[in-house]
Amino acid sequence: MPQGGCCAPCGGETTRPPETASPALVRHSAGDYPPLSFLRISPDFEGADMSEVPLRVRFAPSPTGYLHVGGARTVLFNFLLARRHGGTFILRIEDTDQDRHVEDSVAKILDDLRWLGMNWDEGPEKGGHFGPYFQSACLDEYRACAAHLLQSGRAYYALETPAELDAMRERARAEKRSFKYVRPDPLPTVAQGEAAKAAGRPVVIRLKMTGEPITVHDEVLGDVTMPAEELEDFVIVKSDGWPTYHFACVVDDERMRVSHVIRAQEHLMNTPKHIALQRALGFRTPRYAHLPIIFNLDGTKMSKRDKEKAIRQGRKPPEIEVHDFRVSGYLPEALINFLALLGWSSGDDQERFTLDELVQRFSLERVGRTNARFDREKLLAFNTEWCARVGPARLLEAFKDFLAVNQSPLLKFDEATLTRLLAAKKGLRTFRDVEDSARFLIIKDDEVIYAPDAVRKVLEKNEGAGYVTLAAILTDLDAQTDWLPEALHALLERTCAARSLKMGDVAQPLRVAITGTTVSPPIQDSLSLLGKAATCARIRRCLSLRAPG
């Protein structure tokens, strides 16, 4: 186990670093960088002054689907630190694992980031001095670094076949010990490795560990040490010639001059490997900050598999990816606000923050070690408040995005109508509520399904009083020419006065007739939006379905 606590800090002690100066004040001299003749730098950057290197952070997703909400929290913390200290936020696509690549994933991730307002400074679509920003376009750099390690004796070809490795693992299981790769003695020479590769053998390249413990100096967790006996010679180049995640990540962080690596605690166990690679290559070690893991309220880890499990059990799948929350009708402002508090606190009682306020308040010193819990009810409360907080123009813009991403039939309505729908939904929680309440507007007249409970309580009660009211109001509506909400409201008031009825006695039968339920926007708005012809047709259909007697 790591000294001073395991790499996932669930016990033992770690030493948290003292409060430091603003990260923006941390500079790395050009002398910190070794000659990197084997790394490609954009010609536009040649001759640039590297005497000072400002804060540079990166988010490096793999193109395996939509952006996970945990990844969104990582994006946010990187973005906030960069904006807080005038640094650079880099987006890098780690696509070396071709087996896991999902078509269109990059476009989906970029779209998710734009929706969140997390605009990157360098990366896909924007370029920069330190591209390429797709790892699959950097194979020459990885090969050059691997050759450098082989020639310097810091790495070696490993010639074991998969069957031989499986036999080693089976032997370890039989002896009830953890499997650890044992370095061959003597090591294959570079020439032997090249010959084996040319002969078609599944040859990999492994880093030669030094046999010393490695300590991670973490901005959140403090010092975490991995004992030497837990560090094995690990693969840096696979048998297909592609780099492993660890190798490509380290080369790219140096190539892109990343100063701070902010990522989830799941990566903490990888960090000693990355430091070992940095030392072997003569690279600078960036500052690391590993963020608390996000769990569900029941203590289970949030996973995309939660959705698959819910579907198998016939339940509504929970929102796990950023796209899920967008489809469900959440505001990005609310989601950003909520995610910021999953591991970070402002130090006071304030919980509602705009993105600009978060930029002004954020610091790594306020990131905690305790794992976070994803409280969906709290997020819903945040979203309800944000729906009331943003202005009408912003709410309409976000509502239109929701309708577009869902390909909703409500898109056929103009902005004035959509604005009326939003205004009619009091206490708006999510845009899905608006769409649900307006469903009656987009179905055909004969598709209205009457809820039995609504029919019984509103229409059939008191010897069918609701039906009687509907028949009477139909006559008035047939004669009505002005179909604006104000005129319809005045008509309903006159109907109530003439028949000594309360507004609810008239409005509820009308709701059941045109929607099939007792829930809709204000009745005058509902009638106006539906139109005179459809309103009268639905009332007639409702009356025709009344049981005789």
pLDDT of 100:
81
pLDDT of 43:
45
> Is the same domain home to 173 and 271?
yes
**Mean predicted confidence (pLDDT) in 107-136:** 96
Whether residue 393 is predicted with pLDDT greater than 70 in this model: the reply is yes
The answer to whether position 113 is within a domain reads yes
> Is the same domain home to 511 and 392?
no
Whether residue 443 is predicted with pLDDT greater than 70 in this model: the reply is yes
> Is the same domain home to 342 and 366?
yes
The answer to whether position 417 is within a domain reads yes
State pLDDT tens for residues 317-366.
889 999 999 999 999 999 999 999 999 999 898 999 999 999 999 999 99
**Mean predicted confidence (pLDDT) in 499-503:** 93
State pLDDT tens for residues 451-481.
999 999 999 998 899 999 999 999 999 999 9
Whether residue 34 is predicted with pLDDT greater than 50 in this model: the reply is no
Catalytic residue among 208, 238, 304, 307: 304
Which of 30-44, 227-241, 466-480 bottoms out in mean pLDDT, i.e. has the lowest? 30-44
Of 273, 294, 315, the position where a domain reaches its end is 294
Please give the helix or strand (H or E) that residue 207 lies within, else none: strand 204-207
> Is the same domain home to 433 and 451?
no
d(CA 350, CA 167): 57
> Is the same domain home to 393 and 466?
no
Of 441, 461, 483, the position where a domain reaches its end is 441
pLDDT of 37:
53
pTM of the complete model: 0.86
pLDDT of 4:
41
Q: How is residue 225 written in tokens?
A: 């040490």
> Is the same domain home to 256 and 318?
no
CATH code, 485: 1.10.10.350
Q: How is residue 469 written in tokens?
A: 């009211």
Pair 235, 228: CB distance under 8 Å: no
Whether residue 307 is predicted with pLDDT greater than 80 in this model: the reply is no
- Establish whether 461 is a catalytic residue: no
d(CA 514, CA 181): 71
The answer to whether position 45 is within a domain reads yes
The answer to whether position 6 is within a domain reads no
pLDDT bin (cut points 50, 70, 90) of residue 293 is: very high
> Is the same domain home to 76 and 223?
yes
Whether residue 50 is predicted with pLDDT greater than 50 in this model: the reply is no
Selected residue with higher pLDDT from 449 and 545: 449
Selected residue with higher pLDDT from 30 and 223: 223
User: Which structural domain, as residue segments, surrounds residue 435?
Assistant: 305-441
Of 262, 294, 326, the position where a domain reaches its end is 294
> Is the same domain home to 222 and 103?
yes
- C-beta atoms surrounding 112 within 10 Å: 23
Q: What percent of the chain has pLDDT over 90?
A: 79
pLDDT of 317:
82
The answer to whether position 5 is within a domain reads no
> Is the same domain home to 79 and 123?
yes
The answer to whether position 105 is within a domain reads yes
DSSP alpha helix (H) spans, 153-238: 162-174, 190-198
> Is the same domain home to 140 and 266?
yes
> Is the same domain home to 117 and 165?
yes
Q: Which residues contact 485 (CB under 8 A, 6 or more apart)?
A: 420, 522, 524, 525, 527, 528
CATH code, 403: 1.10.1160.10
Q: Helices 503-515 and 532-544: crossing angle, nearest 10°? A: 90
Whether residue 99 is predicted with pLDDT greater than 90 in this model: the reply is no
Pair 40, 141: CB distance under 8 Å: yes
pLDDT bin (cut points 50, 70, 90) of residue 46 is: very low
The answer to whether position 177 is within a domain reads yes
CATH code, 91: 3.40.50.620
d(CA 70, CA 342): 10
> Is the same domain home to 159 and 172?
yes
Q: Which residues contact 353 (CB under 8 A, 6 or more apart)?
A: 337, 340, 346, 361
d(CA 373, CA 319): 14
- C-beta atoms surrounding 149 within 10 Å: 22
